[in-house]
Structure 1
């Protein structure tokens, strides 16, 4: 992981999510400055107070909406005003049920903006700042759903697939300037987003995902599947021939 001291700034996009809150607690306890970005200012302020109590050198709430690019630059300016290393963790995303999207195709636009195009545009705007500093980390949270289009959530999966491909290119570009980019592909995590899905295989917790992210940052990993079992599972799923895959219900 990057140096863990008060000279670290972490921009946390989607800071109200369950995993983001666990990640915030982790870096706050290491003394980092956290910029908590999201749509719910009351929740962000509460998280900022908690981060300060846990040891963050500073905690700043900021409005961010992946569908409103006008909210992006102010966050980048806040981070740029700090000395030291700038990092960014992206936990933004939305996952409407596929049958809801089938009934209302306008939901496609928001799903893709939340899970792909909004975060990608923000990171593209942040990239020159990271290149100038010549250090830092980007954590982009995708999903195993992006590894192959499945009948139950293919719009969400398409958005996460696009984001993963973007992160791969960003890793190639920023890696030449000393910036590490980690793509995280969780399976089902016990969060608000997954409530109502019923029992899911290999479900994990937000704290376990954060522990895995920290280890992957320390080792400068490119891609992280969490739980690890999803790597062989998804490798097999990607190898299933299309004629057979079309008949499956996964």
Structure 2
């Protein structure tokens, strides 16, 4: 891949999330120019000021409703403000309420709309841009939940599974062209999204640990990366549990 200019131009979609902020700090320490896209511009301004204090060359905030019709069409304007684009981190999403989704198809479709339909539109828009410029990286935050459907979060997991296949397809499309596309699959991570869950123990990761994987994935590695890496083995085991046994498990 062609070495990008210094400083890097990075766009983070869903910049208010815990993993996104931890990733942005890594880029700031490198002196990158960071674009922060989200729905709370006041919060983005606070994050941007923190990034500048940490070494970012510049920051730009973009007020975006990612699920709005044709929202991804605003990508070109963001790129123009950043002066170009090297890396895109797609980090937004909602866990949703699976119990509600079981009873209410509208609630289920809302989870899918945020986590797959809208994210897919942004991924394809970014893919077209990177393919035209023949360089750059798209890193998408997926989830280990997408590796096998479980009763506790299968609608969310289905959306993340779709993102994984799309990211892998884009990576295959980029073969021999120059850019790269990666799906990063974190295990349970201590963020606002998991605020209502019991936490602690070796299965949980910090946003900083996942961010380190995300940052590395933008530069090297395969199209599918687990964060932390031990989840590759854990999910390989879970995927291969026979259905007759798996369906008796309560998790």
State the TM-score, normalized to the length of structure 1: 0.92
Aligned to 2:187: 187
Paired with 1:43 and 1:81, the residues of 2 have a C-alpha distance of 19
The Cα of 1:82 is off from its aligned counterpart by 4.6
Paired with 1:82 and 1:60, the residues of 2 have a C-alpha distance of 7
5 Å-filtered alignment, 1:124-163, equals 124-163=124-163
The Cα of 1:81 is off from its aligned counterpart by 5.4
Aligned to 2:245: 244
After superposition, the C-alpha distances for 1:170-190 in whole angstroms (9 at most, x for unaligned) are: 111123320111110000000
Aligned to 2:73: 73
Aligned to 1:97: 97
Conserved 8 A contact 2:210-2:227: yes
Greater shift, 133-142 or 74-83, is seen at: 74-83
Greater shift, 214-223 or 11-20, is seen at: 214-223
The Cα of 1:214 is off from its aligned counterpart by 2.6
Paired with 2:40 and 2:85, the residues of 1 have a C-alpha distance of 26
Aligned to 2:218: 217
State the TM-score, normalized to the length of structure 2: 0.92
Q: CA RMSD in A?
A: 2.0
Aligned residue pairs total 250
Conserved 8 A contact 1:140-1:167: yes
Greater shift, 45-54 or 18-27, is seen at: 45-54
Greater shift, 30-39 or 140-149, is seen at: 30-39
Q: Is residue 233 of structure 2 the alignment partner of residue 232 of structure 1?
A: yes
After superposition, the C-alpha distances for 1:9-41 in whole angstroms (9 at most, x for unaligned) are: 111011000000111111112121111111111
Secondary structure in 1 matching 2:70: helix
Paired with 1:83 and 1:62, the residues of 2 have a C-alpha distance of 14
The Cα of 1:220 is off from its aligned counterpart by 2.8
The Cα of 1:128 is off from its aligned counterpart by 2.3
Aligned to 2:209: 208
Aligned to 2:15: 15
The Cα of 1:151 is off from its aligned counterpart by 0.8
Greater shift, 90-99 or 212-221, is seen at: 212-221
Structure 1 consecutive aligned stretches of length 4 or more whose deviation exceeds 6 Å: none
Q: Is residue 164 of structure 2 the alignment partner of residue 164 of structure 1?
A: yes
Paired with 1:215 and 1:12, the residues of 2 have a C-alpha distance of 15
Structure 2: 5+ residue runs without aligned partners? none
Shift in alpha-carbon separation, 1:219–1:124, aligned structure 2, 3 A: closer
Secondary structure in 2 matching 1:193: helix
Conserved 8 A contact 1:66-1:113: no
Shift in alpha-carbon separation, 1:49–1:4, aligned structure 2, 3 A: farther
Paired with 1:80 and 1:86, the residues of 2 have a C-alpha distance of 12
5 Å-filtered alignment, 1:110-121, equals 110-121=110-121
Paired with 1:199 and 1:28, the residues of 2 have a C-alpha distance of 29
